[in-house]
């Protein structure tokens, strides 16, 4: 029996669901019950009433959010090596230091953070709702982290002052995109629409026609009249874009833009994860309780 069928059988037997991020390998996306961006995956995990077991094909902070929001379910991360380096860039000490310097500034943290950081902030956001979350706050100065680029984008859009924590948090994969390469692709494809993730540099944002989260890019590509798109985010999204829009052309802005942390999840690891029910995401309840409040506040903001 092939691996895909073995996973599907085990999934049924164990009453499990597989949630996969838009950056996952094509074969992992194809086997998943749902593919989405970070906020959609968290929502899906919360809305799931029947499944007792959630296999989270993504990186650590996404599986942690699902576990925080679903204390009654078992959330599995198929490989403990699937860790987002950006989430590791922010420590609780740094948050405390920023709070001491700006005592009246609320702390808004990107979900790409560890649970302990989420527990120390006022509200979370994702790239899909960061502008709305910061815009919903009364304060004119906001402590924001860990992604410096997303913070700068939010400052541009809201007119608020952003205090970055840490000073220079970034995504190593999105930093690989260069505006010069987009410009030369535009010479070859003058009618192409450029879509860029807000984790890219400000120079990349300047050459973009559309800036948004991974699922917002998918939606934009479906609704747009454009036939050709230059894509400025991790290459895993190309599978979904091409699958959903067979009549349109998608060109990755840099074909080395691969997040190794996302790609560490394979069908083999999903199978072992389901079979052995590993690796269970466990967040100590005192931290989970506080982090849950920060995540739930985010869901209350209209976006």
Nearer to ligand SF4, 26 or 172 (CB): 172
Is 214 a binding residue for ligand 13P by CB under 6 A? The answer is yes
Count, in order, helices (H) and strands (E) of the chain: 16, 12
Binding to ligand 13P in span 144-183, by CB under 6 A: 171
CB 32, CB 19: distance < 8 Å:
yes
Least Å distance, CB 90 to ligand SF4, is 12
Is 127 a binding residue for ligand 13P by CB under 6 A? The answer is yes
Residues 6 or more apart in contact with residue 54 via CB below 8 angstroms: 16, 17, 18, 19, 45, 48, 66, 70, 73, 74, 75, 76
Binding to ligand SF4 in span 117-146, by CB under 6 A: none
Q: Which two tokens stand for residue 48?
A: 């799931």
What's the CA gap between 236 and 299, in Å, rounded? 26
Rule CB under 6 A: choose which of 24, 29, 38, 261 binds ligand 13P.
Answer: 38
Binding to ligand SF4 in span 186-205, by CB under 6 A: 199
Q: Which does 261 bind (CB under 5 to 8 A by kind): ligand SF4, ligand 13P, none?
A: ligand SF4
Is 42 a binding residue for ligand 13P by CB under 6 A? The answer is no
Rule CB under 6 A: choose which of 37, 64, 94, 235 binds ligand 13P.
Answer: 37
- DSSP H or E segment with residue 65: helix 60-69
CB 124, CB 299: distance < 8 Å:
no
Give residues in contact with ligand SF4 (CB under 6 A): 59, 84-86, 112, 171-174, 199, 234, 259, 261-262
């Amino acid at each position: 029996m092939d691996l895909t069928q073995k996973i599907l059988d085990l999934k049924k037997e164990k009453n499990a669901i597989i949630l996969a991020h838009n950056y996952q390998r094509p074969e992992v996306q194809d086997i998943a019950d749902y593919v989405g961006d970070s906020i959609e995956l968290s929502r899906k995990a919360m809305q799931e009433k029947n499944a007792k077991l959630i296999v989270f094909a993504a990186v650590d902070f996404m599986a942690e959010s699902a576990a925080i929001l679903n204390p009654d379910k078992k959330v599995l991360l198929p490989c403990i090596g699937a860790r987002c380096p950006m989430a590791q860039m922010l420590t609780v000490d740094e948050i405390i230091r920023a709070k001491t310097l700006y005592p009246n500034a609320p702390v808004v943290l990107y979900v790409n953070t560890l649970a302990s950081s989420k527990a120390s902030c006022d509200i979370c956001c994702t790239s899909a709702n960061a502008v709305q979350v910061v815009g919903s706050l009364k304060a004119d100065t906001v402590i924001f982290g860990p992604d410096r680029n997303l913070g700068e984008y939010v400052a541009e859009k809201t007119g608020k002052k952003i205090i970055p924590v840490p000073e220079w948090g970034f995504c190593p994969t999105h930093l690989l995109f260069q505006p010069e390469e987009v410009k030369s692709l535009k010479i070859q494809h003058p009618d192409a629409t450029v879509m860029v993730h807000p984790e890219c540099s400000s120079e990349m944002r300047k050459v973009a026609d559309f800036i948004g989260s991974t699922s917002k890019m998918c939606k934009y590509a479906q609704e747009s009249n454009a036939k050709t798109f230059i894509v400025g985010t991790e290459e895993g999204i190309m599978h979904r874009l091409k699958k959903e829009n067979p009549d349109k052309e998608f060109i990755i802005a840099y074909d080395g833009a691969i997040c190794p942390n996302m790609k560490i999840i394979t069908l083999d690891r999903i199978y072992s994860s389901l079979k052995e029910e590993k690796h269970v995401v466990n967040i100590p309840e005192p931290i989970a309780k506080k982090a849950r409040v920060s995540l739930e506040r985010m869901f209350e903001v209209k976006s």
